[in-house]
Amino acid sequence: MRKKIIAGNWKMHLNKAEAIELVESVLVGSKDLDLDENKIVVFSPSFVYLDTIVSKIASLSNVFVAAQNCSEYEQGAYTGEVAAKMLQNVGVQFVIVGHSERRQYFNETNIVLHQKMKQAFVHKLQPIFCCGEPLEIRENQEHFLFIQQQLENCLFLLSEEELLQTVIAYEPIWAIGTGKTATPEQAQEVHHFIRKCIAENYNATIADQISILYGGSVNAQNAAQLFSQADIDGGLVGGASLKAQDFRTIILSI
């Protein structure tokens, strides 16, 4: 059975005290959030707070921590990089790979992203693989082809076992941080397409088991409608994950 996942991507925001307070406020009375092994929450702080946030959630079930990135290399003279092995060592369980901001500002190619995913698997981290089209591609109605290529050039190089450990996040770039959300129908159409591509490249059973999250200006108002779509299994949430009450509402919307 595929899991429902709400993941908060904090990007390069918050200081340490704010990060701790945010987790505490989101999880206050965490029983009300109705989490179980098939409905989980993931926090993705900056590298420097990973250790702290891992300790903060250590006693809770169904709450996890993701890094926002990892190195494609195992270890070595790569100043400024953080290895998947180091993330595993501090108790991180997930890693975001291929966020559009990494692809765009740090020139991360599908080949590099594939290597990062390989590193994640070696060190028992589950990748949250992001894909999604820029505005001009959507306007030219070329988004299906664009996403198919992102999948084929990175994700579909994985083995069945690796793919089953992967979470996919469809994040149309025009919707990230813009306040412009894809309609539930637009998002569902792409999620369904991604699942169809997985079925064609692997099989229908695998396609049915993969969680596909939507990301792009998810907020407390639009979350329930997005999550009501058949192929949307949760959200990768940026801005709204920094506001405890909104993030709680989003968690409760699934």
Q: Which residues are known catalytic residues?
A: 99, 171
Is 68 or 88 the residue whose CB approaches ligand PEP more closely?
A: 68
Residues forming the site for ligand PEP (CB under 6 A): 9, 171, 176-177, 215-218, 236-240
Q: What residue is closest to ligand PEP based on CB?
A: 238
CB of 68 to ligand PEP, least distance (A): 9
Is 9 or 148 the residue whose CB approaches ligand PEP more closely?
A: 9
Strands 63-67 and 94-97: parallel
How far apart are alpha carbons 114 and 97 in whole angstroms? 9
CB of 237 to ligand PEP, least distance (A): 5
Is 102 or 195 the residue whose CB approaches ligand PEP more closely?
A: 102
Q: Is 170 helix (H, G, I), strand (E, B) or coil?
A: strand
Question: Of 72, 3, 47, 30, whose CA–CA distance to 247 is shortest?
Answer: 30
Q: Are 49 and 82 a contacting pair, CB within 8 Å?
A: no
Is 171 or 231 the residue whose CB approaches ligand PEP more closely?
A: 171
CB of 197 to ligand PEP, least distance (A): 21
How far apart are alpha carbons 90 and 153 in whole angstroms? 31
How far apart are alpha carbons 217 and 147 in whole angstroms? 19
CB of 195 to ligand PEP, least distance (A): 20
- Give the DSSP letter of residue 36: B
